[in-house]
Amino acid sequence: MSGAAKKGPGNLKLLKDAFIITTGGTVMFAGHQIYKGNEKFYKEYVMPFFQLFDAETSHKMAVKAAKYKLVPKSKIPPHPVLASRVFDRDFPSPVGLAAGFDKDGEAVDGMLKMGFSFVEVGSVTPNPQPGNEKPRVFRLKEDKAVINRYGFNSEGHDKVYNRLKVREVEPPVVGKCQNLL
């Protein structure tokens, strides 16, 4: 029997080590691309990865990625002509993120990093509530659309308020309850 054909604990350890090194290298490469904000990497690898999961899981993963700022940074500052003043607040552009993506105020700073001028959090309910039963989010691949039937799932006002109170970045959070902040 040749040396290459031998089976045993040594070959299993070698295979395990190769797997760990390959996985570690892949994670480091992906982390570097995310840190650099490589939009092509997002389009060709990250977004197809999210498509492997159901729509609600993908949404949760995207919120978590934005929470930890593992999202591409906008490389193009808004043109000064886009500056807007609304309710005595200045925004670099009129482009913001509407309520629904970040229901509990977890990912505000990550979304601002992506180039939104403001992020509307919610819908936030007075008390925590689970929303509708699952499944409640559906992809329409042919239409490149999503149907959202979350049903106002929310961690509740107190938890969201406390999370927003300790944010690192100053741009305002706009919403129907903005006077509470």
Q: pLDDT for 138-147, tens place per residue?
A: 999 999 899 9
Domain boundaries, the chain: 53-180
Pick the CATH number of 53-180 from 1.10.3720.10, 3.20.20.70, 3.60.15.10, 3.40.366.10: 3.20.20.70
Whether the predicted pLDDT of 26 surpasses 90: no
Residue pointed to by tokens 């899981």? 57
Backbone dihedral angles phi then psi of residue 145, each to the nearest 5 degrees: -140, 170
**HSE-CB for 99 with a 13 A CA cutoff:** 16
Q: Tens of pLDDT along 36-49? A: 778 888 889 888 88
Using DSSP, state whether 139 is helix, strand or coil. Answer: strand
